Structure 1
Amino acid sequence: MKNKYAVIGAGSWGTTLANLLAQKKYGVTLWCYETDLTERMQRKRINDIYLPDIVLADNLHFTSSLKEAVSDKKMLVFVAPSQVTRQVLEQALPHISPETIIVSASKGIENNTLKLLSEIFEELLPATMHQQLVFLSGPSFAREVSQGMPTAVVAAGRDLAYAEQVQTIFSTEKFRVYTHTDVIGVELGGAMKNVIALAAGVADGLGFGYNSRAALITRGLAEMTRLGLKLGGKADTFAGLAGMGDLVLTCTGDLSRNRSVGIELGKGRKLDDILAGMTMIAEGVKTTLSAFQLAHKLNVDVPIIEQMYQILYQNKDPRQAVSDLMLRDLKPESLMS
């Protein structure tokens, strides 16, 4: 069977999505940057770094050749870390067929340009391919999806027909895919929830309780919505899977890398020491920088994100950050304040 599908990026989420498609009997190639990991996956049928207890489908193929992975494919799923998505796409671009459906399943905002991933794809891909772009997001820990736990996500595309194709390709009895046309809202929700999850983790690390977490989730959602509306997203998107759904999961789940980093920060550990001990990437650390700068550029009030920026990049004491949040000027509750 000729492999007409490829997943670009062999972290936990990329491996999970590739395996899901392979289990549906699609011909799938998983591109992995690390040659040694590629060889081990091909030989052992496990990703021993990111999903060591998940057996990978026999029909899943592995390669470290980006050209081989992307050439002559019906669909490409990009799951590279957000800060290297541009670099990977630039290298892949000469080999991508103009008819290929492009799915982005990464979450973040590029640091240098403050662009969403959709803007990066639209910048680099020819205009004739923009309608073929679809963005997959929602509350989905990779390990739970790999273990077959019921999960619901959303596929957003400006052309609903392509989002519906992706919906059909990915959906299983345990993985339900909804469609959406609000690309900006879906993307921004997926990116910014990681920043709020860092803050929720800080609160947990400081020993605070459920009241604090509920406040952070709710007011964090307001910040996500405000920035999303400013960029052209729709308010109701943030009440859905890519907004509130992903936010609740990432702020409360023990599998959340971003919440875990926040917990260690709350306990007083230094960021560099925390990150040095991690195998997987906590996207929220770099997204905090770009989200803060983007909000400042657009004159959007994001006090939680501002405090996380100061904790991560200005060595602010987490307890002082909490105090500064609580003692801001009193105001009515509103998404816009």
Structure 2
Amino acid sequence: MSEKIAVLGAGSWGSILANLLDENGNEVSLWSYNPKQVKELNEKHTNTHYMKDFTYSETLIAYSDLKQALTGATTVLFVVPTKAVRSVAGDVKKVLEELQTKPQIIHASKGIEQGTYKRVSEILAEEIPAELRKSITVLSGPSHAEDVAKRDITLVTAASTDADAAKHVQQLFMNRYFRVYTNSDVIGVEIAAALKNIIALGTGALNGLGYGDNAKAALMTRGLAEISRLGASFGANPQTFTGLAGVGDIIVTGTSENSRNYRAGDELGKGQSLQEVIDTMGMVIEGVATTKAAYELAKQRGVEMPITGAIYQVLYEGKDIRTAISDLMMREGRSEF
């Protein structure tokens, strides 16, 4: 099966997914707001700010003009930062109205919108009305762009309330090194995808402070319990959090230097301020904004999330990291389940 696919967002993950789809025999257009990045991709087939030492397919064409990228596309894949999803989706709506097309929508962004606490699929559904799109599918799981670029074995999940749409995404992406499972729990997959970045900030901070594997395993395990509680309050399937989008993504994001959230936490643990980390990272650190959204959402819904609360206090209230850890450890004893 081959089709025309527009990939919106040429960061590390967006550009590598575009290259994978091209490799699978599709006609792929990759959109970026940055003309210099587009020029580099088309002339040198590189994207050095995001993916050093990687050469992209010569048949992958990049565009800075959104209409050009969307023309003829039967599928549109959003891989832009969460804070940009609403504005980009609004622009896409205008182009689709002009083109009179109705593509399938996929997104691989991981976050929660500030203020509204909306998941990415909810934002897309609001900004692109049903008459201009087919169903919306979420692509998520333990998947660093750097490993996919090396064709390392990668397993992810495609979640949609439309089973046929999820199977379509499965067929588009699957190959000998990239395997896709289907899932109907969009809520659980999106909550897990967003909130695991908070936990990665925490495990990175533990590493920066010099703590070992025991501490990191404890944080990931209890962090997953928090994420599951919040997801359950929205009606998510508890099994989702033991799957690829849950425990799988927490493991890869919370232990690897390829994770910008882990790296950011590591620098915080070593004594840098949050602003210094943001200034030097050069890429969006989704976990920083997601921590604030999750903390506020948990308070609103009455869900206990002590780890998220501690990380929020460190990031937004200036609490000392070691004090935050000590306070977590000295909480009143309780049953695990």
8 Å CA contact 1:189, 1:238 repeated in 2: yes
Question: How many residue pairs align between the two structures?
Answer: 333
Residue 310 in structure 1 maps to residue 313 in structure 2: yes
Which of residues 142, 167, 172 in structure 2 aligns to 1:169?
172
Q: Which runs of 5+ in 2 are unaligned?
A: none
State yes or no: 1:200 paired with 2:203.
yes
Counterparts of 1:187-336 in structure 2, within 5 Å, are 187-334=190-337
Contact 1:5 1:74 in 2 (8 A): yes
Asked if 2 retains the 8 angstrom alpha-carbon contact of 1:74 and 1:99, the reply is: yes
2:41 match: 41
1: distance between equivalents of 2:160 and 2:132?
A: 12
Is residue 182–residue 237 contact of structure 1 (8 Å, CA) maintained in 2?
yes
- Report deviation, 1:113: 0.9
Cα deviation for residue 112 of structure 1 reads 2.0
Alignment map for 1:12-51 (pairs within 5 Å): 12-51=12-51
Q: Does 1:106 align with 2:84?
A: no
Query: Aligned pair 1:94/2:97, yes or no?
Result: no
- C-alpha distance after superposition, 1:39-85 (max 9, x if no partner): 11110011111112111111101100112212331100000001110
CA distance in 2: counterparts of 1:208 and 1:38, whole angstroms:
42
- CA offset at residue 207 of structure 1? 0.9
Kindly provide the CA deviation profile for residues 4-59 of structure 1, in whole angstroms up to 9, marking residues without a partner as x.
Answer: 21100000000000000111221100001111111111100111111121111111
**What is the Cα deviation at residue 130 of structure 1?**
7.0
Report the TM-score, using the length of structure 2 for normalisation: 0.96
Q: Distance in 1 between matches of 2:269 and 2:330?
A: 19
Deviates more, 1:127-136 or 1:42-51: 127-136
More displaced stretch, 282-291 vs 91-100: 91-100
Secondary structure of 1:252's aligned partner: coil
Match of residue 9 from structure 1: 9
1:139-178 map, 5 Å: 139-178=142-181
Deviation at 1:131, TM superposition (A): 5.6
- Partner SS for 1:76: strand
Checking the alignment, whether the CA contact within 8 Å between 1:3 and 1:29 is kept in structure 2 is no
**Residue identity matched to 2:53:** D
Query: Using the alignment, how far apart are the partners of 2:210 and 2:169 within structure 1?
Result: 42
Letter in 1 for 2:114: N
> CA 1:169/1:255 → structure 2, altered by over 3 Å: closer, same or farther?
same
Percentage identity across aligned positions?
44
Unaligned runs of 5+ in 1: none
Matched residue type, 1:196: I
Aligned structure 1 segments of 4 or more residues deviating by more than 6 angstroms:
none
SS at match of 1:277: helix
- Cα deviations across residues 82-120 of structure 1 (Å, max 9, x unaligned)? 111001100111222553110010000001211111111
Aligned partners of 2:31 and 2:63 also within 8 Å:
yes
Say what the alpha-carbon RMSD is for the aligned residues: 1.3
